Amino acid sequence: MKRYAVIGNPIGHSLSPAMHNAAFKELGVKAAYEALEVERLDRAWEHLRKTYSGINVTIPHKVEILKYIDEREMAVDLIGAVNCVEFGDVVRGYNTDMYGAVEALKTEVPKLRNKRVLVLGAGGAARAIVYGCLLEGMKVSVLNRTVEKSDELAMEVEEKLSKRISVVPEALLDKTDILINATSVGMAPKVDASPLTSSIPSNVVVMDIVYNPLETKFLKQARAAGARTIDGAEMFVRQGAESLRIWGYDPPVDAMRRAVLKALGGR
């Protein structure tokens, strides 16, 4: 039986085991997936290599694990972090967040090229989303509480992709097709918080990366305005599906989504 795991510290809250084990059951393959708390990567690495066919990686190991990788895809170089590893004769590192964000967007906007997207935030998740959107040919703006951090991301993007993003001081929603919350604002237990106070036009597609709660205050604002929405579970499922593809499986996305929704409380 092949074994897979997600490693991190802490890791008990992870929904990945429920999602991936549901996928393996749906596919009828003999494989198992677990959450593994790893405090020190250097001490755990040999065990991971010997025991698992592949792993997902979360905080705080997504950057440190780079030094153990033999080969890595372009997304890793762009984002500067690894969240999926394939073990074999060589160790290959991937970052599926970029793919997950783009595929989640395509559920509501199949043709992304030339769409105008405003990303709220400039942290790790925002970085993955920004690069994914740029590679799809989208026009990207970033709004972050700390302008210096947005400026750093803009300079990094120009250096790595020779593309430009706009750093904006406010949400110009009349010039926006897609609005994405790439911050943790609104995540439990602070469910009454929203990253945006201004009203949202009905023609803007709104995505939130927060999936606990599934319907954030931000998404409630958007739905009340008549806007189409994409919840945080969608990006989570899509990045998980890409991990399965990397490991050689055809991901049953619907079964994975059902498992995540059930784990979130049956919603």
**Mean pLDDT confidence for 174-188:** 95
Note whether 263 and 18 are within 8 A (CB).
yes
CATH topology for 109-227?
A: Rossmann fold (3.40.50)
pLDDT at 253: 98
Say whether the peptide bond before residue 195 is cis (omega within 30 degrees of 0): no
Residue 122 pLDDT grade (very low, low, confident, very high; cuts 50, 70, 90): very high
- CATH 3.40.50.10860 positions along the chain are 2-96+234-263
- CATH 3.40.50.720 positions along the chain are 109-227
pLDDT at 197: 86
Query: Annotated active-site positions, please?
Result: 62
**Planar angle of CA 238, 243, 248, nearest 5 degrees:** 120
Q: Which residue has the higher pLDDT, 267 or 193?
A: 193
Residue 172 pLDDT grade (very low, low, confident, very high; cuts 50, 70, 90): confident
Q: Cα separations (Å) of 143 from 118, 149, 184, 195?
A: 7, 10, 14, 10
Looking up tokens 């979360």 gives 58
In CATH, what number does 2-96+234-263 get?
A: 3.40.50.10860
pLDDT at 266: 56
